[in-house]
Structure 1
Amino acid sequence: MKKLPILIGVVVVAVFVLVNSIFIVDERQQALKLQFGQVVGQTEGYREPGLYFKIPLIQTVIFYEDRILPLEGGELEVTPIDDRRLVVDAFARWRITDPVRFRQAVSSEMNALPRLERILNASLREVLGSVTSDTILSDERSELMTRIRDTTRAQSQNLGVQIVDVRLRRVDLPQQNLQATFERMQAERQREAADERARGEEAAQRIRANADRQAIELVSEARRESEVIRGEADGERNRIFATAYGRDEEFFAFYRSLRAYETALQGRNSSIVLTPDSEFFRYFGEGELQRMVEETAPADAAGTEASQAPAEPAPAAAPSGEATPTTPAPAAD
């Protein structure tokens, strides 16, 4: 019975030594084994999950995350090369790649966050300050985020970490600059609209001038062709008139007078002032029209009789030996 407390004490000490002689690294962690503040064992850290041993009370173990960790950059005001200030809200993702260097540089994850945030903000100002605000707001943003990630990764390597990704969550104008920026954008759009209208007016004037020139050319060509046709028609008319005049001068003069009467007396109350001896109404004089009819009638009658007179029958053949009587021809008028 006296040995029982001693046995219990030995068991307790053995359990204590055993518990403090092992440590477990799961798949979410990586560890460093320290002895009097110096890294011992696996100098690059215990990164594979499993069960490991250490000397109790002499060696200690520090655990670090092996997962990807978040980094919130917060809102940051940047000034692109066109001096249009922007408020950028960015975030990053990082992980510990060298636990030994990480312990020497920042010791813990909580101490690493402020330094990584400063590096991220410096990279944002450097990259976004080298381009215009339109580039930041355009489809080239993904390329800018890649440049920011590479810059941040290069500057944070001495901390034993790797920047996995950097993203721009939001890009806005500062609140105090919204109105001024809006007015400037409005003025730029109005200037662009005025330029477009001026170019449109210039093009319209050019089109109108070209259309007017083509219209003048077409009208001139049509007028020239009409003059040619009119000249040919006048020539044909004069030829017809000359032919008609040569056939019957008196009737042609009478016909022209009738056309003149038709033109001059178109209205119902037309008045014409003429001298008593005017030749205009000479066919309205007493006996003038009768004279013209009498002069033209014999020629017409002769032509009509010649065309309508029946042909005389041929004389019968005379008996053989008899003479055929001959009819004397009428005397010519």
Structure 2
Amino acid sequence: MRKTTFILPAIVILAALGLSSIYIVDEREKALVLQFGQIRDVKTEPGLGFKIPLIQQVVKYDDRILSRDIDPIEVTPLDDRRLVVDAFARYRIADVVRFRQAVGAGGVSLAEGRIGNILTSRLRAVLGSVSSDAILSSDRAALMTQIRDSARAEAEALGIEIVDVRLLRSDLPEQNLDATFARMRAEREREAADEIARGNEAAQRIRAQADRTVVEIVSDARRQSEIIRGEADARRSGIFADAYGADPEFFGFYRSLEAYRASMQAGNSTLVMSPDSDFFTYFDSVGAAEPPSMPGSRSPAEAPAAPAAPAAPAP
């Protein structure tokens, strides 16, 4: 009985010591074996591990990608338009030994505080070197990459790898919204005025060119019309000359008829002249029947002979 009384507690103690000497590392973890605060072993692969009970202890760290949200900060870009920036970072513990030496027993909470300080300083430095338009435009991706690369160098001293940095929002402070909107409106109005001025200048240039083209076309058309008119007058004169040369008597007759038509239209002045005037020469019908005699009228024998080709009097 006495032996049983001592053996059972010994077995229990040995079992407890055996179990406390074994530890399990998950595939999502890394572990450090510490002895009196000093690192004795590093376990980076999943599986079973052994340690000295009561003397050594195991500290485990998450090997997955972790997230750190940055509190909103106010930055001042090059154009003095202040912005409130909200960002977050993705990181992982790359070197557990360096991480333990850097943060000690503070662990992840202390490391995240230091990461926040690093990212805040990098955000102010990078975003303060560009204009607000670059922060709000498609250049934002390049700026996030620049922030990540600059923060990564400082985070390596902590045994931490910065995987990514993202800007959640970039807003104007409430007290600056009205002034910023007024400034943006003034800039857009100035750009609109410049565009209108350039458009008016282009319109004046096009209009002047069109006016010049119209003058040139009209001048050329008038020149061609004068040439054509002169050629037509020359042909007309030539035709008249040929007609006059072919039958001068008929030409005189034609000119007299033209004079009759021009002078005897409605609305013309009244003509008072002698009946035996040369103007009415072709009104006499040569060889026609003798009209009835009237008191005071001349006989056909007494009528003056018509000239061969009288010139048509002016109307």
Please give the TM-score of this superposition, normalised by the length of structure 2: 0.83
Per-residue deviation at 1:4? Answer: 2.2
* Distance of 1:24 and 1:151 partners within structure 2: 37
Provide the residue aligned with 2:225 in structure 1.
Answer: 226
Instruction: Flag structure 2 segments of 5+ consecutive residues without an equivalent.
Output: 289-304, 309-315
* Distance of 1:101 and 1:278 partners within structure 2: 142
1:81 aligned onto 2:83: no
Shift in CA distance, 136/20, structure 1 to aligned 2, threshold 3 Å: same
Residue pair 1:22, 1:54 contacting (<8 A) in 2 also:
yes
Provide the residue aligned with 2:13 in structure 1.
Answer: 13
Per-residue deviation at 1:244? Answer: 3.9
1:101 aligned onto 2:98: yes
* Distance of 1:150 and 1:74 partners within structure 2: 20
RMSD (Å) for aligned C-alpha atoms: 2.6
1:290 to 269, 272, 284: 284
Provide the residue aligned with 2:259 in structure 1.
Answer: 257
* Distance of 2:64 and 2:198 partners within structure 1: 60
Q: Give 3-state SS (helix, strand or coil) of 1:106's partner.
A: helix
* Distance of 2:278 and 2:38 partners within structure 1: 148
* Distance of 2:243 and 2:44 partners within structure 1: 128
* Distance of 1:207 and 1:37 partners within structure 2: 86
Per-residue deviation at 1:202? Answer: 0.9
Provide the residue aligned with 1:139 in structure 2.
Answer: 138
Q: Give 3-state SS (helix, strand or coil) of 2:43's partner.
A: coil
Q: Give 3-state SS (helix, strand or coil) of 2:146's partner.
A: helix
The worse-fitting range, judged by mean Cα deviation, of 136-145 and 111-120 is 136-145
* Distance of 1:292 and 1:9 partners within structure 2: 176
Per-residue deviation at 1:254? Answer: 1.1
1:58 aligned onto 2:55: yes
Per-residue deviation at 1:209? Answer: 0.8
Residue pair 2:83, 2:170 contacting (<8 A) in 1 also:
yes
1:29 aligned onto 2:26: no
Deviations 1:195-243 (A, max 9, x none): 1111111111111111111111111111011011111112222233334
Per-residue deviation at 1:48? Answer: 0.9
Q: Give 3-state SS (helix, strand or coil) of 1:156's partner.
A: helix
Provide the residue aligned with 2:206 in structure 1.
Answer: 207
* Equivalent residue letter for 1:290: D
Deviations 1:170-192 (A, max 9, x none): 22222222222211111111111
Q: Give 3-state SS (helix, strand or coil) of 1:81's partner.
A: coil
* Equivalent residue letter for 2:87: A
Shift in CA distance, 58/235, structure 1 to aligned 2, threshold 3 Å: same
Alignment map for 1:137-286 (pairs within 5 Å): 137-246=136-245, 247-248=248-249, 250-261=252-263, 265=265, 267=266, 270-272=267-269, 276-277=272-273, 283=279
The worse-fitting range, judged by mean Cα deviation, of 245-254 and 228-237 is 245-254
Tell me the number of residue pairs that the alignment of Structure 1 and Structure 2 aligns: 287
Deviations 1:278-308 (A, max 9, x none): 99x9645xx762177886899xxxxxxxxxx
* Equivalent residue letter for 2:263: Y
Q: Give 3-state SS (helix, strand or coil) of 1:152's partner.
A: helix
* Distance of 1:145 and 1:236 partners within structure 2: 89
Provide the residue aligned with 2:116 in structure 1.
Answer: 117
Deviations 1:92-147 (A, max 9, x none): 11111122221222221011111100101111111111112221222222111111
* Equivalent residue letter for 1:153: R
Q: Looking at CA atoms only, which structure, 1 or 2, has the larger radius of gyration?
A: 1
The worse-fitting range, judged by mean Cα deviation, of 216-225 and 15-24 is 15-24
Per-residue deviation at 1:59? Answer: 1.1
Moved >6 Å (runs of 4+): 291-298
* Distance of 1:200 and 1:143 partners within structure 2: 36
* Equivalent residue letter for 1:16: A
Q: Give 3-state SS (helix, strand or coil) of 2:80's partner.
A: coil
1:92 aligned onto 2:89: yes
* Equivalent residue letter for 2:102: A
| Identical counterparts, % of pairs | 54
Instruction: Flag structure 1 segments of 5+ consecutive residues without an equivalent.
Output: 299-333
